[in-house]
């Protein structure tokens, strides 16, 4: 391209000026991100590298409730007015086994509409509870047009049998009235523990035990064990207790605004209620504050979801919970994930209580009472009146349960999570969290309790309603308003080189030097099965450091780095003189910084080249030929992503002898589109000049605009850069060519990406 063929042509001068300006703006338009770890790779909806399968059924919506069958092969789904059984054994799309309708009755729908609820959006049966009672029965509850109802559902070979109307019973306390209200339910030892709103208005929260042989027990509404706005998000049973996780207004703090707080409550499974006092009420109800915060920052005080990761032998069981904040920090919503050990929760429940002074309405600390057995413990009998009297007013613990923050992310609200451990090649367990927002984040927690995001999978603009991990299927199922996504744990094939595979730090993926592929580790790994263990010994992974230098080394340590930085493949570009060449560089990781080099020098310090959107845009003229490499630097490790040997057709350049022996791939520039000879012969026209100027001006203006929008600091830096341009060595600006012709960049651009459609997929192969 004859940008540099200035002569005295004013158009070309303007071109050069704008091009220099364009170079000056470029580095500043990048960067500027929120707080929290960036997902290393992001897949847009429909990206073929992360092929997801979507289950949808015509006429059905609100796929809110998910339940896995005992054998893990069937997924039961509670959708609006329907319950479905899906076969998930094959890796593809879930297949419908059968579905049964369970609509709210016409009478209830009419009553619902009469009470001024919407017949279009609210007066339906939204399924809220779906639990497995035994091998032949499920138990389901729904809002039933603001009149909660429950029923047993019989199974036959994990097919659902139709619901007969006479088997439907009232479900107050088990399902909310309003589909917008939160709820939780868990079946433990044949009894259903549920927490939700117990009235039409949604002003009376309840924590209730139903079904099974034990008496029905409730929280006492009059004693105010729960604040009227308590909102339940999870229930987790342990050996002796059932823990409830919820959020409510904090009454124990004096604060100028309504203060939300997150809680854990517990009840004993063997509670039978009181004889004289607290009849049909919990005698073991206690609650404590959950705290998820980073030192010196506002706490994340609104719990959104919680799950238990059962203990693997030496480690203690921990509860993982997502939180958001009632305050918007820096104008954006943010989330945190905290871990709470069951041991800490237990310790707080064994500590001091809080007591409300009825006269001053203030909460004070109350020590440990001299009552044995201790009130609230599971050995309190129904007739120990002294302990029960104490429990009526001492249900709030003095101490807080402090969580360990694992991940704090701004601009995102994680509403649901699932966790599992994955065993790496070295045999260590790694915690993997799947976090739902509008997309799915896969996070891996390191030993120092910090998390990195392996990937983000964009699903739908609609939020995730529910998230369920199916370990046997190696997939996460995500329910949303329109259907169910099946998301495999990982697609290790997207990492095409050892370096990329190791830098990804995905515990599910490891590099197999034998097959030169990034492989999915089988999980769970059968311990006694020796063959895969032997095989895996040679597999490469470095979860803690993510250091390819070490993990991808082929020879002795000293040699390894050299082998990593030597290109594995050179793309030879034979281009037309004076054309614009665009050399693409696939950006594999959002965590890497990218730069171009020419031989040993850095680009774009060399003239006549610019990096635009990651690609190197090169004005091909005499003397610019040579080796161009795009380097990625991630985790302190640099490697060439792609290497080009550029030379022009009229002056072929012999390959540097140092690069001999590296496989080469030739890419011809498309001749037809340039028509250099014709352009030379054509009468002089300013039209191409005009086009070039327009394009460059647009680029500069949009770059400048972006810059102004991103940071005021950037403007200052930009000034510095522009001045820097003027002090370029004279040689850099001097026109080297006498060509008088300017060619429009867009149309005549010689893009190697046109040459070989696969180029973009050709990652570095640096194993």
Ligand X SMILES: *[C@@H]1O[C@H](CO)[C@@H](O)[C@H](O)[C@H]1NC(C)=O
Q: Pick one of 14, 38, 99, 133: the residue that binds ligand X (CB under 6 A).
A: 133
Stretch that binds ligand X, among 48-56, 477-485, 567-575, 674-682 (CB under 6 A): 48-56
Shortest distance in whole angstroms from residue 105 CB to ligand X: 23
Residue 48 makes contact with ligand X by CB under 6 A: yes
The smaller minimum CB distance to ligand X, of residues 122 and 491, is found at 491
Q: Pick one of 65, 491, 497, 648: the residue that binds ligand X (CB under 6 A).
A: 491
**C-alpha angle with apex 357: 354 to 362, nearest 5 degrees?**
75
Shortest distance in whole angstroms from residue 457 CB to ligand X: 10
Shortest distance in whole angstroms from residue 585 CB to ligand X: 8
* Ramachandran area for residue 7 (φ above 0: left; ψ -120 to 50: alpha; else beta): left
Shortest distance in whole angstroms from residue 264 CB to ligand X: 30
Q: Pick one of 33, 89, 118, 136: the residue that binds ligand X (CB under 6 A).
A: 136
Specify the long-range contacts of residues 303-306, CB closer than 8 Å, at least 24 apart. 303/233, 303/245, 303/246, 303/247, 303/262, 303/263, 304/233, 304/335, 304/413, 304/414, 304/415, 304/416, 305/233, 305/234, 305/414, 305/415, 305/416, 305/417, 306/233, 306/234, 306/236, 306/245
**C-alpha angle with apex 280: 276 to 285, nearest 5 degrees?**
100
Shortest distance in whole angstroms from residue 752 CB to ligand X: 13
Q: Pick one of 35, 450, 493, 633: the residue that binds ligand X (CB under 6 A).
A: 493
Q: How is residue 720 written in tokens?
A: 């510095």
Residue 746 makes contact with ligand X by CB under 6 A: no
Q: Of 271-310, which residues contact ligand X (CB under 6 A)?
A: none
Shortest distance in whole angstroms from residue 262 CB to ligand X: 34
Shortest distance in whole angstroms from residue 630 CB to ligand X: 12
Instruction: Locate all alpha helices (DSSP H) within 528-620, ordered by sequence.
Output: 530-537, 548-551, 557-565
Residue 536, classed as helix, strand or coil, is helix
Check if the beta carbon of residue 511 is closer than 8 Å to that of residue 502: yes
Shortest distance in whole angstroms from residue 129 CB to ligand X: 15
What are the φ/ψ torsions at residue 129 (nearest 5 degrees)? -125, 130
The smaller minimum CB distance to ligand X, of residues 226 and 490, is found at 490
Of 191, 146, 133, the closest CA to residue 172 belongs to 146
Shortest distance in whole angstroms from residue 701 CB to ligand X: 14
Shortest distance in whole angstroms from residue 741 CB to ligand X: 26
Q: Directed axis angle between helix 687-710 and helix 10-29, to 10°?
A: 30
Interface with ligand X: number of residues (CB under 6 A): 14
Q: How is residue 582 written in tokens?
A: 């665009």
The smaller minimum CB distance to ligand X, of residues 53 and 446, is found at 53
Residue 702 makes contact with ligand X by CB under 6 A: no
The smaller minimum CB distance to ligand X, of residues 374 and 587, is found at 587
Shortest distance in whole angstroms from residue 49 CB to ligand X: 4
Shortest distance in whole angstroms from residue 59 CB to ligand X: 29
Shortest distance in whole angstroms from residue 605 CB to ligand X: 23
Instruction: Locate all alpha helices (DSSP H) within 282-384, ordered by sequence.
Output: 342-349
The smaller minimum CB distance to ligand X, of residues 382 and 488, is found at 488
User: Which residues neighbour 683 within 8 Å (Cβ) at sequence distance 6 or greater?
Assistant: none
Shortest distance in whole angstroms from residue 182 CB to ligand X: 27
Residue 152 makes contact with ligand X by CB under 6 A: yes
The smaller minimum CB distance to ligand X, of residues 613 and 740, is found at 613
Stretch that binds ligand X, among 77-85, 134-142, 275-283, 325-333 (CB under 6 A): 134-142
Shortest distance in whole angstroms from residue 93 CB to ligand X: 12
Please compute Rg for the chain using Cα positions. 32
Of 267, 280, 275, the closest CA to residue 378 belongs to 267
The smaller minimum CB distance to ligand X, of residues 50 and 218, is found at 50
Stretch that binds ligand X, among 161-169, 368-376, 486-494, 523-531 (CB under 6 A): 486-494
The smaller minimum CB distance to ligand X, of residues 48 and 731, is found at 48
Shortest distance in whole angstroms from residue 695 CB to ligand X: 13
Of 274, 515, 293, the closest CA to residue 383 belongs to 274
Q: Pick one of 40, 50, 392, 489: the residue that binds ligand X (CB under 6 A).
A: 50
The alpha carbon dihedral of 215, 221, 224, 229 has a sign of: positive
**C-alpha angle with apex 185: 118 to 172, nearest 5 degrees?**
50
Stretch that binds ligand X, among 369-377, 488-496, 636-644, 737-745 (CB under 6 A): 488-496
Q: Where are the beta strands (DSSP E) in 88-198?
A: 95-101, 127-134, 137-142, 149-156, 159-160, 169-170, 184-188, 191-197
Stretch that binds ligand X, among 44-52, 323-331, 478-486, 545-553 (CB under 6 A): 44-52
Taking residues 607 to 626 in sequence order and writing x for each that binds ligand X by CB under 6 A, - otherwise, the string is: ------x-------------
Stretch that binds ligand X, among 129-137, 326-334, 686-694, 726-734 (CB under 6 A): 129-137
Residue 137 makes contact with ligand X by CB under 6 A: yes
Residue 134 makes contact with ligand X by CB under 6 A: yes
The smaller minimum CB distance to ligand X, of residues 134 and 332, is found at 134
Q: Pick one of 7, 13, 32, 49: the residue that binds ligand X (CB under 6 A).
A: 49
Taking residues 387 to 426 in sequence order and writing x for each that binds ligand X by CB under 6 A, - otherwise, the string is: ----------------------------------------
* Ramachandran area for residue 649 (φ above 0: left; ψ -120 to 50: alpha; else beta): alpha
Looking at residue 36, the DSSP 8-state letter turns out to be S
Q: Of 530-589, which residues contact ligand X (CB under 6 A)?
A: none
Check if the beta carbon of residue 16 is closer than 8 Å to that of residue 430: no
Please give the Cα distance from 273 to 280 (Å, whole number): 5
Residue 51 makes contact with ligand X by CB under 6 A: yes
Q: Pick one of 6, 226, 494, 581: the residue that binds ligand X (CB under 6 A).
A: 494
Q: Directed axis angle between helix 712-726 and helix 687-710, to 10°?
A: 140
Residue 212 makes contact with ligand X by CB under 6 A: no
What are the φ/ψ torsions at residue 699 (nearest 5 degrees)? -65, -45
Using the CB atoms, write b or e for 218-228: b if 16+ within 10 Å: bbbeeeebbbe
Q: Of 626-685, which residues contact ligand X (CB under 6 A)?
A: none
Stretch that binds ligand X, among 128-136, 241-249, 349-357, 536-544 (CB under 6 A): 128-136
Shortest distance in whole angstroms from residue 134 CB to ligand X: 4
Of 327, 507, 333, the closest CA to residue 432 belongs to 507
**C-alpha angle with apex 69: 63 to 74, nearest 5 degrees?**
65
Residue 214 makes contact with ligand X by CB under 6 A: no
User: Which residues neighbour 458 within 8 Å (Cβ) at sequence distance 6 or greater?
Assistant: 42, 43, 44, 45, 438, 439
Q: Parallel, antiparallel, or unpaired for β 53-55 and 74-79?
A: unpaired
Residue 516 makes contact with ligand X by CB under 6 A: no
Check if the beta carbon of residue 484 is closer than 8 Å to that of residue 87: no
Q: Where along the sequence are the contacts to ligand X (CB under 6 A)?
A: 48-51, 133-134, 136-137, 152, 488, 491, 493-494, 613
């Amino acid at each position: 391209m004859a940008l540099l063929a200035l002569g005295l042509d004013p158009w070309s001068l303007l071109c050069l000026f704008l091009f220099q300006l364009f170079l000056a703006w470029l580095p500043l338009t990048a960067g500027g991100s929120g707080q929290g770890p960036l997902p290393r790779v992001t897949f847009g909806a429909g990206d073929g590298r992360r092929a997801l399968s979507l289950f949808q059924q015509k006429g059905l919506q609100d796929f809110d409730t998910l339940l896995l069958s005992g054998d893990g092969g069937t997924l039961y789904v509670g959708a609006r007015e329907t319950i479905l059984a899906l076969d998930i054994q094959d890796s593809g799309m879930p297949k419908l086994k059968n579905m049964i309708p369970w609509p709210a009755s016409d009478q209830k729908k009419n009553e619902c509409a009469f009470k001024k609820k919407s017949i279009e959006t609210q007066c339906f049966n939204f399924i809220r509870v779906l639990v497995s009672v035994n091998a032949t029965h499920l138990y389901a509850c729904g809002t039933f047009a603001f009149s909660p109802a429950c029923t047993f559902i019989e199974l036959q070979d994990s097919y659902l049998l139709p619901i007969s109307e006479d088997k439907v019973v009232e479900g107050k306390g088990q399902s909310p009235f309003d589909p917008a209200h939160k709820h939780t339910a868990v079946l433990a030892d044949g009894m259903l523990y549920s927490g939700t709103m117990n009235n039409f208005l949604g002003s009376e929260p309840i924590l209730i035990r139903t079904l099974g042989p034990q008496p029905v027990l409730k929280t006492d509404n009059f004693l105010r064990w729960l604040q009227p706005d308590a909102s339940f998000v999870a229930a987790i049973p342990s050996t002796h207790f059932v823990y409830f996780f919820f959020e409510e207004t904090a009454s124990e703090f004096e604060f100028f605004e309504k203060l939300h707080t997150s809680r854990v409550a517990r009840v004993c499974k063997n509670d039978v209620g009181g004889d004289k006092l607290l009849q049909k009420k919990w005698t073991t109800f206690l609650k404590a504050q959950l705290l998820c915060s980073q030192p010196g920052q506002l706490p994340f005080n609104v719990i959104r979801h919680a799950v238990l990761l059962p203990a693997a032998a030496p480690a203690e069981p921990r509860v993982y919970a997502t939180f958001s904040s009632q305050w918007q920090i820096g104008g954006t919503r943010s989330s945190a994930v905290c871990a709470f050990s069951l041991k800490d929760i237990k310790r707080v429940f064994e500590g001091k209580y809080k007591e409300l002074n009825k006269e001053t309405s203030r909460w004070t600390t109350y020590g440990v009472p001299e009552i044995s057995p201790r009130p609230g413990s599971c050995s309190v009998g129904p007739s120990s009146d002294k302990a029960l009297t104490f429990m009526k007013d001492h249900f709030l613990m003095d101490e807080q349960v402090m969580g360990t923050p694992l991940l704090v992310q701004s601009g995102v609200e994680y509403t649901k999570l699932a966790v599992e451990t994955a065993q790496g090649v070295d045999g260590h367990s790694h915690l993997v969290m799947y976090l739902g927002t509008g997309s799915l984040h896969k996070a891996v927690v390191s030993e120092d309790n910090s998390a990195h995001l392996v990937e983000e999978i964009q699903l739908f603009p609609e939020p995730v309603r529910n998230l369920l991990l199916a370990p046997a299927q190696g997939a996460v199922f995500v329910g949303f308003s329109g259907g169910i996504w099946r998301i495999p744990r990982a697609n290790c094939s997207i990492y095409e080189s050892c370096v990329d595979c190791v830098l990804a730090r995905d515990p599910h993926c490891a590099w197999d030097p034998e097959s030169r592929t990034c492989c999915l580790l089988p999980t769970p790994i059968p311990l006694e099965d020796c063959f895969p263990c032997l095989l895996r010994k040679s597999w490469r992974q470095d979860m803690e450091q993510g250091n390819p230098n070490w993990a991808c080394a082929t020879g002795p340590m000293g040699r390894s780095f050299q082998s990593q930085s030597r290109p594995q493949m050179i793309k030879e570009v034979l281009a037309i003189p004076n054309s614009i060449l665009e050399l693409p560089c696939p950006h594999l990781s959002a965590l890497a910084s990218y730069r171009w080099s020419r031989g040993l020098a850095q680009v774009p310090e060399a003239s006549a080249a610019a990096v635009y959107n990651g690609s190197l845009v090169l004005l091909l003229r005499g003397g610019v030929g040579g080796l161009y490499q795009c380097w990625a630097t991630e985790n302190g490790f640099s490697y060439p992503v792609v290497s080009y040997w550029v030379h022009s057709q009229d002056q072929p350049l012999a390959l540097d002898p140092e690069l001999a022996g590296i496989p080469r791939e030739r890419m011809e520039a498309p001749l037809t589109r340039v028509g250099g000879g014709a352009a030379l012969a054509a009468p002089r026209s300013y039209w191409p000049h005009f086009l070039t100027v327009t394009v460059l001006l647009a680029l500069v203006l949009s770059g400048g605009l972006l810059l102004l929008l991103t940071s005021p600091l950037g403007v200052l830096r930009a000034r510095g850069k522009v001045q820097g341009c003027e002090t370029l060595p004279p040689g850099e600006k001097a026109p080297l060519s006498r060509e008088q012709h300017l060619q429009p960049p867009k149309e005549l651009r010689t893009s190697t990406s046109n040459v070989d459609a696969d180029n973009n997929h050709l990652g570095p192969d640096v194993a």
